[in-house]
Amino acid sequence: MRIAAIILALAAVAVSKVHLRRAETRANHEIHRLQLRQITLRRTLYDQQVILGGLTAPMQVRRRAELMDARLTDQLPVEREMAWDRQARR
């Protein structure tokens, strides 16, 4: 009878060990898949940062403003200056 209990206990240990190994293998696979996804996302982020850096470069901003004929000036329109003067006097 003791031998049967020992055999059952060893079988339970073996089954649980196999189960834990399979769970570990699944977890390692998921980690590897997520790391590959992270690499892809980092590459995409870097590409977007390069594009954004090019679009926000001072010469590019100036060129786009000239293409849009934005006529950017440092002076405020007359109506706004007058409105600000009225607010300052109050």
Tens of pLDDT along 22-78?
Answer: 999 999 999 999 999 999 999 999 999 999 999 889 888 888 878 887 666 665 555
Is the pLDDT at 6 greater than 90, yes or no? yes
Does this model's pTM top 0.75? My answer is no
d(CA 19, CA 26): 11
Burial class (CB in 10 A: 0-12, 13-18, 19+), 19: exposed
CB contact at 8 A, 21 and 27: no
What domain count does the chain have? 1
State the residue range of the domain holding 53: 2-89
Where are any strands of DSSP class E within the chain?
none
pLDDT of residue 88: 59
In one letter, which amino acid is 88? A
Burial class (CB in 10 A: 0-12, 13-18, 19+), 68: exposed
